[in-house]
Amino acid sequence: MNIETKWLEDFLSLAQSQSFSRSAEERHMTQPAFSRRIKALENALGCELVDRTNVPVQLTAAGRLFQITARNLVSQLEDCITHLQSLSQRGADIVDFAVSHTLSLSLFPTFLQSLRQELGDVQTRQLVANVDDSVQALKNGICDFLLAFEDHSLISEQFQKLELQTEQLVPVCRGDEEGKPLFDLDAPGQDKLPYLGYPKEIYLGRCVERLLRSPPHPVELQQAFESPLADSLKVMALQGMGIAWVPTFAIREELQQGFLVPCGGASWRSPLEVCIYRCVRPLSPAAEDLWQVLESRYGGPVTTANKG
């Protein structure tokens, strides 16, 4: 499939303006040329994205779905370009972290706050990506450190890690007026339970999938929603839409206030080890100084080949 980035930007402009003529002007081209580029995108995808019979222009169902993907792709590309450009200006007092989406919102800010005094005037930057892309960023030297759940793809003498804390992946749902779970994994004789899941190809999705392949006891789940973001699943659980497995650090306040309640016993939980990784090659002075602080706080580093 050969899709040009400019086609995605054209399509997003059209989705916003709902007018071929206005978008053509915005994109600095003639309307026929703009229309040809939208058609080229549709041909590459094999479906119609735009309903041309309506005025103003409307997206088809496929177009509305693709709009989300196109927006994410363009945004990620822009973020990556900005980050790559900043690398050329990288100084000795800048430390770069790659952080997975789940950890970036709930745990990483707290982690940095705990290091505020030690960091002093050192500037930190965050690259947010899925786990696989974050691992690649570490391997390629785009970042100094990777903050992630324990990752067996980094079992190599090239990497060291510090184990920061152990969390749990906990099944939760909204509670009723008495504080009992709306959906209970351990209740006998129940119907299908709505389940809010992760894509199976991401780390947390693989964790839940392993748990459900050998559940504590038989239970029938029907997936009602999917998102790669733990915070999205948390919000859906708060709305009473089903059961979500969410890391404990992301739901502490909701559990304390009773907005969410555990909906299964300890056997339905899965441990999550939060680690910080680095390559063994020399880092910048600021990054090396920070690693020494982390070593003193969390214990000696583990060369991941030694721990399998």
Rounded Cα distance, 58 and 145, in Å: 45
User: What are the beta bridge partners of residue 149?
Assistant: 274
Tokens of residue 25, six digits: 């002007």
- Based on the number of CB atoms within 10 Å of its own CB, is 256 exposed (0-12), middle (13-18) or buried (19 or more)? exposed
Amino acid identity of residue 150, one-letter, is E
CATH number assigned to the domain comprising residue 237: 3.40.190.290
Specify whether 157 is located in the same domain as 183.
Answer: no
* Residues 93 and 121 sit within 8 Å (Cβ to Cβ): yes
Closest residue by Cα to residue 259 from 182, 177, 175, 178:
175
Take residue 181 and report the two structure tokens written for it: 């779970």
Length of the chain: 308
- How many other β-carbons are positioned within 10 Å of the β-carbon of residue 119? 18
Q: Does 277 lie in the same domain as 263?
A: no
Looking at the fold, whether 36 and 108 belong to one and the same domain comes out as: no
Taking only the tens of pLDDT, the chain with its 308 residues reads 678 899 999 999 999 999 999 999 999 999 999 999 999 999 998 899 999 988 899 999 999 889 988 888 888 787 777 666 665 555 557 899 999 888 888 789 999 999 988 888 888 988 887 777 788 888 888 889 999 888 777 777 788 999 999 999 999 999 988 889 999 999 887 779 999 999 988 889 989 999 999 999 989 999 999 998 888 999 999 999 999 999 999 999 999 999 999 999 999 999 999 999 998 888 888 899 999 999 999 886 655 544 43
Considering the domain architecture, whether residues 175 and 243 belong to the same structural domain is answered as: yes
User: Contact at 8 Å (CB) between 38 and 11?
Assistant: yes
For residue 141, give the CATH number of its domain: 3.40.190.10
Do 150 and 206 belong together in one domain? Answer: no
Quote the tokens at residue 238: 């708060």
Angle at 180 between CA 179 and CA 186, to 5 degrees: 155
Are residues 268 and 173 both part of a single domain? yes
The DSSP output letter for 47 is S
pLDDT at 88: 55
Which of 41, 61, 83 is at the close of a domain? 83
pLDDT at 1: 61
Same domain flag for 123 and 268: no
Among 63, 83, 103, which residue terminates a domain? 83
DSSP letter assigned to residue 59: E
250 shares its domain with 172: yes
Global pTM? 0.65
Q: Do 79 and 105 share a domain, yes or no?
A: no
Decide which of 35, 61, 83 is a domain's last residue. 83
CATH no. for residue 31?
A: 1.10.10.10
Q: Are residues 117 and 100 in the same domain?
A: yes
Q: How many structural domains does the chain have?
A: 3
Hey, what's the torsion of the CAs at 292, 297, 301, 307, to 10 degrees?
Answer: -170
Radius of gyration for the alpha carbons in the chain, expressed in angstroms and rounded: 23
Residue 278 and residue 159 share a domain: yes
Burial class (CB in 10 A: 0-12, 13-18, 19+), 29: middle
pLDDT per residue as tens digits for the range 78-120: 777 766 666 555 555 789 999 988 888 878 999 999 998 888 8
Q: Which domain holds residue 144?
A: 86-164+273-306
